[in-house]
Structure 1
């Protein structure tokens, strides 16, 4: 047999597989209807386990893993097809549909907004990209921003969530577990750091550099070029600039935005000192209630998965069946729970899709996942 003959035989086999697959899915759909009529759940993990054990025994050692993956995928496709014909009674879809219908066509030009830090912080720059003119209230830490939104002190809160150079903002992810909120928009802000000195100081005088932890991480190369310099962390890059401005010293500097130079009367000794020019920080805009504006094309959810082999794979397969593109998957250890993790997902999709609403409704109804928002992301 040559390669052409082998391919022809494979084509014939593929045709048989497709025909059998269509028959299997049709039967699965009928079973789904009978399950719904009888009030039975779509999931039957015990039967799946029995079939997988049988397949493993009969497939031979060489094909065991491949056969198990193949049939696990078939199970997920079949269950997804059954769910697509099932009516899920949950307040979740109605709440989201209400947000879709009642959210205004345009994102607000102005609002009362909570930010972490002081004037000149990158959170303020992100706010200025999201709103034409925001009434900003500054807070000392990220937790206070969450609380300001929860308590209704501010309609929105702006929080950094990840940086393209330094990675995720761990503190914000941890705080997400403790607060109730929705993401209504996000902004990818290009971060350009500068070394700011007190008037009259020179780089050669500097013995100490102050900045936010992320700012220091993003400028490691430049800091090394300064030699034996002490680094000190501040609550934000803008706070670092404020500290340097009020210190009265000539031997300290701040890593912050160039905007901070004008605000705090400092001089720019060097600009664009970040390690990478493609240095972006992603900020989220949160609110107390869901708001879904036209053009929302990103969805975020957060939740836990059972400690079972393949549980993450099975969830991802359900999204894959709907053609959803996953853009971020983050796992965070749950506090006070040994080896328990919270998963954070970003994916490109819209809640306008009934099939996706059905899937998210099931995840939320099970109590394992929280819907965080459907929103648009801008790049500034």
Structure 2
């Protein structure tokens, strides 16, 4: 391997790098590119939903005064497509909720599109029942919101059996819909800000059953952005369909002292009972033990990709 293959990676990787990565140059090339990438100044940032959505809140919180423009998209895939085409510089999408679990659509889109995670933001989710001013609870027969919000408010809805849950694309879009139809029989589950934006009243606050309710959003970019502060790595891989295959893969993390934070499976569309595995682990791609582990994982997987190296959100 020539010097230019790891010229910018730093002294940490010089230990045995010739032998460890003589067949894995593409991993080094990915890291080289990520080390050269810098955060875009005054970026255009996309999120799903409308003003008042939790996606907008995550985007505003993460980028604060950095973003020059925030753009709303109706579907998650619209964000991926816009980022791939260059209409936006970053995309902000939810990937999991502490109460309801993973947003599986995002995992499938991450596999489909050649994009990278460059950051994450955690937002505390507070769901409120929103309706027209003066509406009484017994007048409500339909409640609109995102399926995750309905799931997180299921205990409240069980207590009010006349309220039929109606799935909607987004919590803020559901709030907007209820405000537009102007029928007291219809209510929405959404945020305090959405209620203010669309002129609805908070009929009951904090109706989610888990008061420690958080959603993790990931920040997507067209390339990795690796810095010294990056301490979380996301990867996706596919193992051989045989006994012990996954166990052996996970062993490489343990042998190299890496803390596995999470693993999640998604089915292969063209093969029955076979899966892609998405994993998060602690580490920085400039550390030799991380690259040793990932190099070994790649050797023993049918498919392998680094999805990003970024700073963990508190």
Question: When the two structures are superposed, what TM-score results if normalisation uses the length of structure 1?
Answer: 0.74
1:313 lines up with 2:250 in the alignment? no
Q: CA deviation at 1:282?
A: 0.8
1:236-289 alpha-carbon deviations (Å, 9 max, x no partner): 000100000101211111001111011101111111111101111111000111
Match of 2:282 in 1: 348
Using the TM superposition, give the Cα deviation of residue 300 of structure 1 relative to its aligned residue in structure 2, in angstroms: 0.3
Asked whether 1:368 is paired with 2:300, we answer no
For residue 22 of structure 2, the aligned residue among 88, 92, 96 is 88
Contact 2:83 2:221 in 1 (8 A): yes
SS at match of 1:378: coil
User: How many pairs are equivalent?
Assistant: 296
- Structure 2 unaligned segments of length 5 or more: list them: 1-15
Alignment-derived partner of residue 189 in structure 1: 123
Q: Is the CA contact 2:264–2:278 (under 8 Å) kept in the aligned structure 1?
A: yes
1:204 shift after superposition: 2.2
Match among 194, 201, 210 for residue 276 of structure 1 = 210
Residue 343 of structure 1 aligns to a residue whose secondary structure is strand
> Does structure 1 residue 126 correspond to structure 2 residue 61?
no
3-state SS, counterpart of residue 377 of structure 1 = coil
CA distance in 2, matches of 1:202, 1:294: 54
> 2:237 & 2:196 partners in 1: Cα distance?
43
Greater alpha carbon shift after TM alignment, 223-232 vs 205-214 = 223-232
Instruction: Call closer, same or farther: CA 1:178–1:87 in 2, change over 3 Å.
Output: closer
Question: Is 1:92–1:364's contact at 8 Å kept on the other side of the alignment?
Answer: no
Q: Which residue of 2 aligns with 1:53?
A: none
Which has the higher Rg, Structure 1 or Structure 2? 1
> Following TM superposition, by how much is the alpha carbon of 1:174 offset from its aligned partner in structure 2, in angstroms?
1.9
CA contact 2:33–2:224 (8 Å) conserved in 1: no
Q: Give the aligned partner of residue 179 of structure 1.
A: 113
Q: 1:123 to 1:189 in 2, by over 3 A?
A: same
Determine if the alignment matches structure 1 residue 248 to structure 2 residue 182.
yes
Distance 1:368 1:232, change over 3 A: same
Assess if the C-alpha contact under 8 Å between 1:364 and 1:371 holds in 2.
no
Gaps of 5+ in 1: 1-81
**Preserved CA contact (<8 Å) 2:231 2:283:** yes
Give the drift of 1:199: 2.2
Mapped to 2, the partners of 1:308 and 1:337 lie a distance apart of 14
- Report the Cα distance in structure 2 between the residues aligned to 1:85 and 1:252, rounded to whole angstroms: 65
More helix, by proportion: 1
Determine whether 1:97 maps to 2:32.
yes
Q: Partner residue of 1:323?
A: 257
The range that moved more, 226-235 or 342-351, is 226-235
SS of structure 2 residue aligned to 1:177: helix
SS, match of residue 291 in structure 1: coil
Look up the match of 1:59: none
Q: Could you tell me how far 1:97 is from its partner in structure 2? A: 3.2
Query: CA distance change for structure 1 residues 93 and 83 in 2, over 3 Å: closer, same or farther?
Result: closer
Match of 1:112 in 2: 44
Q: CA deviation at 1:362?
A: 5.4
The residue number in structure 1 matching 2:312 is 377
How far is the alpha carbon of 1:108 from its aligned partner?
5.7
Preserved contact between residue 161 and residue 283 of structure 1 (Cα < 8 Å): yes
TM-score after normalising by structure 2: 0.89
Contact 1:186 1:283 in 2 (8 A): yes
Distance change (3 Å), C-alpha of 1:84 and 1:318? farther
Secondary structure of the structure 2 residue equivalent to 1:313: helix
For 1:151 and 1:158, how far apart are their aligned partners in 2? 16
* Kept after mapping to 1: 8 A contact 2:228/2:284: no
Distance in 2, Cα, partners of 1:269 & 1:137: 30
Any idea what SS the aligned residue of 2:138 has? helix
- The equivalent position to 1:290 in structure 2, one of 207, 221, 224, is 224
1:221 corresponds to which residue?
Answer: 155
